[in-house]
Every structure is written in structure tokens, then in C-alpha cells.
Structure 1
Amino acid sequence: MPTPHYGQPRYRTIADELRNRIESGEIPPGSLLPAESALTVEFRVARGTVRKAITALRDEGYAATEHGRGTYATSPARINARDSGDRQQKVQADARLAALFRVDIGTDLIEHQTVIKQGEQVNTVIITYRLQPSDP
């Protein structure tokens, strides 16, 4: 188990360790990250702490999550190419999305599309949906 960095939140320490593994090639790009249960045992933390660490990695571009596939590592080279390929738009839920989100058909959702390139070649397209925040 890595030595904790005092004064730093535990999830941040875990995210740093996983990022180091991705950058060093120990977890190669495209490989699944270890299961949450394995990480909770390795770092002796609660599942919520592991989830927060993985969220931090996703936010930084070191990991991506695909429904049905899991969370996998992305390479730093891909991260730099992501910026030009991000697009966000409002869409209405079709029958499949309405069932997944348990909302009415036609409910507003936010669709976020990320195009990950390796050089000029498109390698992966990730499309995520989330509920549109309601106005207060």
C-alpha cells in the first residue's frame, strides 16, 4: 500500500497513485482499472473514497467510463487530443433513455460527446447523458 500523503484527502492520494500507474504504463491505455472492490482492499478505504478518486481521474482525462464496459485508462497523449473533440448539447430522451433514467419520453437531457484521437485518427467516441439541472 502506498504511503499516505498527510494533509491531502485520501481520495486524492489514491488518484495520484492510479495516475502514476497509468503514466508509467503499469496500467496501459485501454486497460480496465482494477475493480472498486480490489481498490478498497488495497488502499483500505471505503468504496465512496475509491469512487471519488476515479471521478478525479475521469475529470483529469486519465480514465473514461463506458456503460457495460467499465472504467479504463486513457493515455496522456490522448488527453491532449480530447479538447477539440468535446461537444455538449441538449437532447430529449427517447424511449431507451427515458427507461434508463426513469423519466418521461421527451425529458430534457444533456448529451456530452468526447472524441478521442490518436494523432489525427479517431480512436474512440464516448457519449454520455445526464439529466438537465432543473431551474431553481
Structure 2
Amino acid sequence: MPTPHHRQPRYRTIADELRSRIESGVIPPGSLLPTEASLTAEFRASRGTVRQAIASLREERLVATAHGRGTYVAFPLEQGDEFETTSIPSSPRHVPADEELAAIFDVETGSPLVEVRSVLQVNGNTESVICIYSRPLQGAAGQE
């Protein structure tokens, strides 16, 4: 089945769309790209095709992938600059839900949540700290 851009590989079409979103600021520097599962559904493409598109953006240094954390939009660099990104994840820890998190998760204030922080560094400088919260697994330490 031909794609709307039948003269170029499907992964290029996906990479072009993601590049456009990054360059326009729809997906700003330091933020995560949508998950592979989300992108496969959105573009109706295989996981391998989506991975090829992301690899293409990585080669262009528009994104950086942190193992187990996801793919982040890289911060713009001056022409010719080299960069090295590092994601430093913390160990999961249980925290009480504040009022805002309680409202988001529809739980009582003080209910246990699991927090994982990831520090994104570019060339040794901290660029962002990302906190991910989730409900504790049933039967896990959340029943303290």
C-alpha cells in the first residue's frame, strides 16, 4: 500500500514529521518524545519503522535516547558543537501525594505514590529534572 510520500521510505516521512514538531516547538527541548507504542499507533507503522525514524533523528543530533528512560529532544547547539547527553535515573521511592498529585491520581492527599527522578545532563550541565509518578503496584510497599 503506497504512502502519501511514496517516493521516500516510510521512516523518513515519520522522521520528517517529528523533526517538524521539534523545530516548531510543539515538542520542546528536554521533553520526551511520545513512546514507540504511541508513534506506531499514530503513524500506523511497525515498531521497526518508528525505531528507524528515531535513529535518523538521533544521527542528526535532534534527539538523545536514555536507556530505559525514553528519547528526549536535544537542546539546540551552536554550529560545530559536540555534545554528550547523560540521563541519571534515581531509584524508585515512595512519596506521599501532595494536593496536586492527589487530584491528578484521584486519591487522598498523603496516599503513597512511586516517584522516579531522572536528571538529563548535556555536556555535564544539568538541563532538566524529570519526575515520573505512578501508583504503587498492588501488594507492594504502598501498604505501609
What does residue range 26-65 of structure 1 map to in structure 2 within 5 Å? 26-65=26-65
Identical aligned residues as a percent = 58
- TM-score normalised by structure 1 residue count: 0.57
* Maintained 8 Å contact 1:81/1:116: no
Q: Hey, which bits of structure 1, 4+ residues long, moved more than 4 A?
A: none
Mapping 1:1-136, distance limit 5 Å:
4-75=4-75, 77-78=76-77, 80=79, 82-83=81-82, 85=83, 116=122, 122-123=125-126
Structure 1: runs of 5+ lacking an equivalent: 87-114, 125-136
Q: Which residue of 2 aligns with 1:133?
A: none
CA–CA distance in structure 2, aligned partners of residues 5 and 70 of structure 1: 28
Find the aligned partners of 1:42 and 1:79 in 2 and give their Cα distance.
Answer: 32
Q: 1:64 to 1:82 in 2, by over 3 A?
A: farther
TM-score normalised to structure 2 length: 0.54
C-alpha RMSD of the superposition: 2.4
- 8 Å contact kept, 1:4–1:10: no
- Bigger fraction of residues in helix: 1
How many residues in Structure 1 have an aligned counterpart in Structure 2? 89
The CA deviation string for residues 19-53 of structure 1, in whole angstroms up to 9 with x for no partner, is 00000000010110001111111111110000000
Return 5+ residue gaps in structure 2 as ranges.
85-120, 128-144
